[in-house]
Chains A and B, each alone.
Chain A
Amino acid sequence: MAAHDAHGHSEVGAHTQEAHIVPKRVYFLVFIALIILTWVTALVSRIDMGPWNIFVALFIAIIKASLVVFFFMHVWYGTRLTKMIVASGLFWLILLLFITMADLWTRNWMGVPGR
C-alpha cells in the first residue's frame, strides 16, 4: 500500500494519477452529440407515432444518459469494479421497474367480486 501523506489521502491520490486522461476532443464530440440528440427529441415530439412516442423518447434519453455516464463520468475508462458498481445500479433499477410492473400485469388476473 502506498505511504500516507499527512492527511492519509494518498491511496486515492495515487489512484487518480493512474486514471485515463481523456482528450478534450472527446468531450466536445459528446457535447455535440447531446445537443443533436436534444434537437432530435424536440423534432420527434412533433411527430405522432401513437404508442411508440414514449419508446422513441426513452430510447433517445437512454443514449444521452449512456454518453454522459460513459464519457463525462469516465466509466468507459474505469476499472472493472467501477463498471460492476454501475451495472449493479442499473440492475437495481430494472428490478424496481420489473417487480412494480409485475404488480400491474397481474392485477386483473383475479376478478373483483361483484364487479
Chain B
Amino acid sequence: MITAPPPVEVEKNYINAEHGLKSWLLTQDHKLIALLYLISVTAFFFIGGLFAVFIRLQLATPTGAMFDSNTYNKVFTMHGIIMVFFFLIPSIPATLGNFLIPLMVGAKDLAFPRINLLSWYIYIAGGLFTLWVLFNGGVDTGWTFYTPFSSSYSNGYVIAAGLGIFINGFSSILTGLNFIVTIHRMRAPGLTWFRLPLFVWAHYATSVIMILGTPVIAVTLFLLVLERGLHIGFFDPAYGGDPVLFQHLFWFYSHPAVYIMILPSMGVVSEVISTFCSKKPFGYTFIAFSSVAIAVFGFLVWGHHLFVSSQSVYAGMVFSVLSYIVAIPSAIKVFNWTATMYKGSVRLTTPMLYSLGFIGLFTIGGLTGLFLACLGMDVHLTDTYFVIAHFHYVMVGGAIMGYLAGVHFWWPKMFGRMYPEGWSKLSAVIIFVGFNLTFFPQFILGYMGMPRRYAAYPAEFQVLNVLSSAGASILGLGYLIPFVYLIWSLKYGKPAGPNPWGATGLEWQTASPPPTENFEITPVVTTEAYEYSTEEVVHVG
C-alpha cells in the first residue's frame, strides 16, 4: 500500500508570512522592501543595459550603423541617467543595505518602516516619470545636464527628466536618514560602534553623503527647470547667469555620488574577504575610518570636473591636490584587504571571485583617476574615452562587481537557497573578461584622442572600438547568466541553512530566510566583530 508522505511543515519566514499583492505593496518589513527594490533596480539595470548595447552597436562602425547624431545623443543620455540615478545609486544601499542593516545591528526593522516603504514608492514615481520621458522622445543633454545647452537650446524633455531625478532624490535622502537613525539608536545590547560590521560603517558613510549631497542636486535641477521654463537667470549668461555655477552645483553632489556607489561595494568586499579568509580584517579601525574619510574628502574634490571650464586656475590647483588626497583612504582599504588575505585560508567561492575582481578593477579605476586629477594631463584627457574607461572601471568594475559579490554572498540568507556554484563561478569569470575587453581599449582610444559622446569617429579607431563592442557582448552574456540561475535557484537550489559560509555576524545567527521579526529574542553581543578564532561568537538570547 502506498501511503502519502506526512506533510512537511514549512517554517514561517518573512516571505511566506503573508500572501497576496497587498502584503507586498503595503509591507513595512525592511526585507520585503529590499526585495521590491531588488526587482526594481534589476529592471532599470536591464533597461540601462539595453541602451549600452545600442551605444556599442552604433560604435562598431566609424560612421555609425544605427542612429543619427540626435538619436545617439538621446541614447547615451538615457543610458547615463538610468544607470546612475536608478541603478547604481540605489543598488546596494536600497537592496542589501535595507535587508541587512537591521539584521546586522540586531534590530527587528529599520527605525522608520513606513518611511522606508515611502522611499520605494518615491523611487518608482521618479523612475516612471523618467521612463515617460524616454517613451516621449527622450532627452539629449547627457546625464550631466550642462547649461546653457540644457536650459536654452536642447529640444529634449529636460524639465521632465530633471523632475524625475528631483523626485528620485527624496527616495535616496529617506533611505540615508533611515540608516543613520537605525545605526545610532537600534544597535543590540553590547554592539558598540567598533563591533559593527564594516558593511554597516560603509553604509553609515554612504548615508551621510546621501543626506548632505542629494538636496543640492535636487535644488540644482530645480533651478535648471526654473531657468528653462520661466527664464529666470541662474546659469545662462543671456539671462545674467554663470554656466560654471551649474557645473559647481551639479558636481558638488555628483562627484560624492560616485562614493555613494562605491562605498557600499567596499563594505561588501570587507565582509566577503573576511569570511572567505576566515580572518578578522586587517586594520578594522582603519577600514572603518577610511570610509568616513572618503565620504568627507569626497565632498571637497568636485572642481576636478571643471579643469577645462573657466574655473580659476588657483581653485583648480586646490581641487587637484584634494583629489590626490582621496586616493589615500581608498588605498588604505585595498592594502588592508590584501593584508587580510595574507596567510588566510582563502576559499575561492563566487562572492570571493567577484571581490578579487573588485580589488583589481577598482585599483585600475582609482589610479587612472589620478591621471585625471592632474591639471596638465586632464587638459589632454578631458571628455575623451579615457574618462569613460576610468569611471566605468570604478562604477562597473567596482560598484557592480561589489553588488554581484554581495548578492551572491547574501542570496542564501535572503532566500534560504544556494545557487549553482559552477555556473556562478563561470559567469564571474565571463564578466571579468568581458568587462576588461569592453573598457580597456577605451583607455587607449581616449589617450589617442577619441572624444566621448560622438556618434561617429575616424576609421583608424575602428579596431579598438570593435574590440570594445565584442567585449560588451561577452559582458552582457555574463550578466544574463546570474539572472537565469538566481531565479532558478529560488525553486531548485539546495537549502542553505542559517550559515552556509561559516561567517560571523548577527545576520548569520538567524534562520535563512529570516523570520519577519528577524530574531526571536533580541541578541546580546559579547565579542568583537569577526572573531573567527572562537567557536561560539555571539549568543542569541
Interface residues of A (CB under 8 A from B): 1, 3-4, 6-9, 11-12, 15, 81, 88-89, 92, 95-96, 99-100, 102-107, 109-110
Contacts and interface: CB of A to CB of B under 8 A. Distances in A.
B107 interface: yes
B184 to A, nearest CB: 7
Given A100-B248, A103-B244, A8 B315 contact: no
A103 B303 contact: yes
Contacts of A100: 245, 248-249, 252
B185 A15 contact: yes
Nearest to A108: B312
Contact of B315 (A11, A89, A92, A102): A102
B299 A92 contact: yes
Nearest to B313: A110
Interface in B495-515: none
Interface string B298-326: 01100100100011111100100000000
Interface in B149-199: 181, 184-186, 188-189
Contact of A99 (B188, B216, B244, B315): B315
B241 to A, nearest CB: 13
Contacts of A1: 188-189, 522
A81 B244 CA distance: 36
Nearest to B181: A12
A99 B252 CA distance: 10
B252 A7 contact: no
A81 B184 CA distance: 10
Given A4-B522, A102-B315, A103-B303, 18 more contacts: A3-B522, A4-B108, A7-B28, A7-B113, A8-B186, A11-B107, A11-B185, A12-B181, A12-B185, A12-B186, A81-B184, A96-B252, A100-B252, A103-B244, A103-B248, A103-B312, A106-B314, A109-B314
Residue among A6, A95, A104 with the highest chain B CB neighbour number at 10 A: A104
B107 A95 contact: no
A106 B315 contact: yes
B292 to A, nearest CB: 12
A9 B113 contact: yes
B518 interface: yes
B112 interface: yes
Nearest to B216: A96
Nearest to B302: A99
Contact of B300 (A7, A81, A99): A99
27 contacts: A1-B189, A1-B522, A7-B108, A8-B107, A8-B109, A8-B186, A9-B108, A9-B111, A11-B186, A12-B111, A12-B112, A12-B181, A15-B185, A89-B212, A92-B212, A92-B299, A95-B300, A96-B248, A96-B249, A99-B303, A99-B315, A100-B252, A102-B315, A103-B244, A104-B242, A104-B312, A110-B312
Nearest to B111: A12
A8 B108 contact: yes
Contacts, number: 81
B18 interface: no
Residue among B102, B111, B216, B315 with the highest chain A CB neighbour number at 10 A: B315
A42 B77 CA distance: 42
A92 B295 CA distance: 12
Contacts of B315: 99, 102-103, 106-107
B517 interface: yes
Contacts of B112: 12
Contacts of B189: 1
Contacts of B313: 106, 109-110
Contacts of A3: 522
Contacts of A92: 212, 299
Nearest to A102: B315
Contacts of A104: 242, 312
Nearest to B102: A8
Nearest to B522: A4
Contacts of B517: 4, 6-8
Interface in B186-237: 186, 188-189, 211-212, 216
Contact of B312 (A6, A81, A96, A109): A109
Interface string B239-251: 0001011001100
